[in-house]
C-alpha cells in the first residue's frame, strides 16, 4: 500500500490518561477531536478523578463515536496508559497528556512524514502565558549503527524521555508486550527506551504542533523520593542498549546526576547526601568517557569527582533548573 493510501486508511489510537484535570480536559479533547486527520479512536482513561473531569469528558465523548471512555480507580498514570494500550485497535498510537493540547494538523503531520518505527516531533512548552519552542535538527535514522549516538545525545534525548509528541507503531508495542512500569518516576523514559530497543528507524520532524502545558500540580515538578534508585534503572537500560559505548554511559550518568541534584536544590542536607552518593559512583569513569561530554558537563563531572560540594550546590541554586545546563 502506498504511503498516501496508508494516510487515508490507517486507524490511529490516541490515548489520554486523566486525573483531576477538569480545568484543562475540555481544551485537550477538543483539540484532538478537531484534527484534520479524522480516522481516530480516542481512548480516554480516567484514573479515579475526584473533580469534574469525568463529567466534562462525557459531555464531549457522547457526541463523537470515535471516543471510548474508561473509568477506573486511582492506580496511577502508568496503569491508565497501559489500559489504553490494552484497548487500542489502531495501527499507530499517540499519547496526549490531559493538560496538553495539539494543533489541528498534528496527527496529519506525523502520518505524512517519512515512515519510521518511531516519528518524533518538536513541541512547544507553555508556562504562565510564555511559549517556548523545543527544537532539534530534522534527522532520519535507519538501522542500528548510528542509533545509540543519536538517542543518547544532548540534542535528542530529552525528546525521547517522554511518550507524547510521537507516533508509535502499535504492532511493535503489542508484539513485544511493551508497557509502562508501575513506578512514580521515570516510567515515561523506560517505556520509550524499551520501544527503542526494537525500533529500527527513527524520524525526527519539526512541527511544533504539540503544546506541553506546564501547570500547577504536575507530577514531574514535585520532589521525588529515592530519585537516584529510580534514575539508576534508566541508566541500567541505557547501558544494556549500548554496552560498549562509554559515551552513552557518561551522558546518562551526567544527566541523572543533574536530575537528582536538582531534585534537592532547596534542601542543602538532602543535596549533600545525594552529592556524595553520586560522587562515589563517579569514580568509575574512564578518560575516554569524559572526553565524550561537552565542556560544562565535563566541568560538572570534575566538581563531582573532586567532591566540591559547596561549589556544586551554589551552581545548582543559581541555575535552579536542569534546563539551564548546557553542554
pLDDT band for position 217 (50/70/90)? low
Q: 63 with 138, same domain? A: yes
Q: Return the pLDDT at 248.
A: 87
pLDDT band for position 249 (50/70/90)? confident
Q: Return the pLDDT at 319.
A: 81
User: pLDDT tens across 9-30, in order?
Assistant: 899 999 999 999 999 999 999 9
Q: 187 with 259, same domain? A: no
pLDDT band for position 223 (50/70/90)? confident
Q: Return the pLDDT at 25.
A: 98
Listed residues 151, 185, 220: the one ending a domain: 220
Reduced 3-state DSSP string for the chain? CCHHHHHHHCCEEEEEEECCCCCCHHHHHHHHHCCCCCCEEEEEEEECCCCCHHHHHHHHHCCCCCEEEEEECCCCHHHHHHHHHHHCCCCEEEECCCCCEECCCHHHHHHHCCCCCEEEEEEEEEECCEEEEECCCCEEEECCCCHHHHHCCCCCHHHHCCCECEEEEHHHHHHCCCCCCCCCCCHHHHHHHHHHCCCCEEEEEEEEEEEEECCCCCHHHCCCCCHHHHHHHHHHHHHHHCCCCHHHHHHHHHHHHHHHHHCCCCCHHHHHHHHHHHHHHHCCCCHHHHHCCCHHHHHHHHHHHCCCHHHHHHHHHHHCCHHHCCC
Instruction: Indicate whether 297 pLDDT > 50.
Output: yes
pLDDT band for position 221 (50/70/90)? low
The better pLDDT of the pair 91, 147 is held by 91
User: pLDDT tens across 49-108, in order?
Assistant: 999 999 999 999 999 999 999 999 999 999 999 999 999 999 999 999 999 999 999 999
Q: Return the pLDDT at 215.
A: 79
Q: Return the pLDDT at 5.
A: 53
Q: 253 with 197, same domain? A: no
Rg, the chain, Cα only? 20
Considering its fold, how many domains does the chain have in total? Answer: 2
Q: Return the pLDDT at 194.
A: 96
Q: 54 with 138, same domain? A: yes
Q: Return the pLDDT at 256.
A: 95
Give the mean pLDDT of the chain. 90
Q: 53 with 187, same domain? A: yes
Highest mean pLDDT among 152-166, 285-299, 311-325: 152-166
Instruction: Indicate whether 280 pLDDT > 70.
Output: yes
Instruction: Tell me how far CA of residue 323 lies from CA of 76, 82, 319, in angstroms.
Output: 26, 29, 9
With a pLDDT cut of 70, the percent of the chain lying above it is 90
Q: 176 with 120, same domain? A: yes
Q: 105 with 216, same domain? A: yes
pLDDT band for position 2 (50/70/90)? very low
Q: 57 with 12, same domain? A: yes
pLDDT band for position 295 (50/70/90)? confident
Q: 194 with 306, same domain? A: no
Q: Which domain holds residue 178?
A: 3-220
Q: 64 with 192, same domain? A: yes
Q: Return the pLDDT at 287.
A: 64
Q: Return the pLDDT at 324.
A: 53
Q: What is the mean pLDDT of residues 29-55?
A: 97
Q: Return the pLDDT at 50.
A: 97
Listed residues 194, 220, 246: the one ending a domain: 220
Listed in sequence order, the residues at least 6 apart from 5 whose beta carbon sits closer than 8 Å to its beta carbon are none
User: pLDDT tens across 186-204, in order?
Assistant: 999 999 999 999 999 999 9
Amino acid at each position: 500500500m502506498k504511503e498516501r493510501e496508508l494516510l487515508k486508511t490507517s486507524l490511529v489510537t490516541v490515548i489520554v490518561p486523566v486525573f483531576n484535570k477538569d480545568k484543562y480536559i475540555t481544551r485537550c479533547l477538543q483539540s484532538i477531536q478537531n484534527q484534520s486527520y479524522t480516522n481516530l479512536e480516542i481512548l480516554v482513561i480516567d484514573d479515579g478523578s475526584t473533580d469534574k473531569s469525568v463529567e466534562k469528558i462525557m459531555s464531549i465523548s457522547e457526541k463523537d463515536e470515535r471516543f471510548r471512555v474508561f473509568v477506573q480507580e486511582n492506580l496511577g498514570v502508568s496503569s491508565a496508559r497501559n489500559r489504553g494500550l490494552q484497548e487500542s485497535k489502531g495501527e499507530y498510537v499517540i499519547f496526549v497528556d490531559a493538560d496538553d493540547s495539539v494543533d489541528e494538523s498534528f496527527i496529519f503531520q506525523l502520518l505524512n512524514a517519512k515512515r519510521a518505527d518511531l516519528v518524533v516531533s518538536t513541541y512547544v512548552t507553555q508556562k504562565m502565558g510564555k511559549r517556548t519552542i523545543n527544537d532539534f535538527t530534522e534527522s532520519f535514522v535507519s538501522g542500528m549503527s548510528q542509533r545509540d549516538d543519536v538517542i543518547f545525545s544532548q540534542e535528542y534525548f530529552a525528546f525521547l524521555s517522554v511518550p507524547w509528541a510521537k507516533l508509535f507503531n502499535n504492532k511493535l508495542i503489542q508484539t513485544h508486550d511493551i508497557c509502562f512500569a508501575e513506578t512514580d518516576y521515570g516510567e515515561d523514559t523506560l517505556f520509550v527506551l524499551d520501544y527503542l530497543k526494537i525500533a529500527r528507524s527513527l524520524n525526527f520532524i519539526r512541527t511544533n504542533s504539540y503544546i506541553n502545558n506546564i501547570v500547577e500540580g504536575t507530577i514531574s515538578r514535585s520532589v521525588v523520593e529515592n530519585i537516584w534508585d529510580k534514575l539508576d534503572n534508566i541508566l541500567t537500560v541505557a547501558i544494556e542498549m549500548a554496552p560498549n559505548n562509554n559515551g552513552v554511559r557518561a551522558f546518562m550518568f551526567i544527566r541523572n546526576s543533574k536530575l537528582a541534584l536538582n531534585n534537592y536544590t532547596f534542601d542543602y542536607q538532602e543535596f549533600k547526601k545525594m552529592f556524595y552518593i553520586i560522587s562515589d559512583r563517579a569514580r568509575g569513569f574512564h578518560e575516554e568517557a569524559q572526553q565524550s561530554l561537552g565542556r560544562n558537563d565535563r566541568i560538572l563531572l570534575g566538581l563531582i569527582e573532586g567532591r566540591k560540594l559547596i561549589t556544586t550546590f551554589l551552581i545548582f541554586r543559581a541555575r535552579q533548573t536542569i534546563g539551564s545546563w548546557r553542554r
